[in-house]
Amino acid sequence: MTSSLNLEPYAAIGITIALVVLITAGMLVVAHVLGPRRHGPVKDAPYESGVPALYDARRRFHIRFYIVAVLFLLFDVEIAFFWPWIIPFYDAAIGGTTYPLRDGTTAGSGFFLVAMGLFFLLLLFGLIYEWKKGAFEWD
């Protein structure tokens, strides 16, 4: 019994992954072999972005740091949702392509513009809300 599993379309992906692994391993080996071997108390001391470690790594931070970090992630991820709209919006606006919707109608450039505008307004409303609540105040 022969298998009808065709893996030929995945050969390029496998070759790419193998090349990446080989190149990465090669760079690590060359850096280890050719790299400098100077050691000392200053060279071996831990540092963060070139700044010596002055405090314990487990110290407490003010909650505002975490709020700003979460807000950044929230808005950054939401802005990333604009990217899936680029191709259909471009096709609808420039090429005149329409996209079928679930209810049987079609969506053109106006639909995508309104959808993107509403999403952007929602982001803007969230930003203004957080601004008014004082999430960006550093007093």
User: Which residue(s) pair with 47 in the sheet?
Assistant: 52
Residue 124 tokens, joined: 């803007």
Residue 1: pLDDT over 70: no
- The count of C-alpha atoms lying within 13 angstroms of the C-alpha of 64, restricted to the half-sphere facing its C-beta, is 8
pLDDT of 15 higher than 90: yes
Check if the beta carbon of residue 118 is closer than 8 Å to that of residue 94: no
Task: Collect all residues with Cβ–Cβ distance below 8 Å to 130 and sequence separation of at least 6.
Answer: 71, 136
Cβ-contact 139, 64 below 8 angstroms: no
44, amino acid identity: D
The H or E element that residue 52 is part of is strand 51-52
Q: What are phi and psi of 52, to 5 degrees?
A: -60, 145
Q: What is the pLDDT of residues 84-130, one digit of tens each?
A: 877 777 777 787 777 788 888 887 777 878 888 898 898 888 888 88
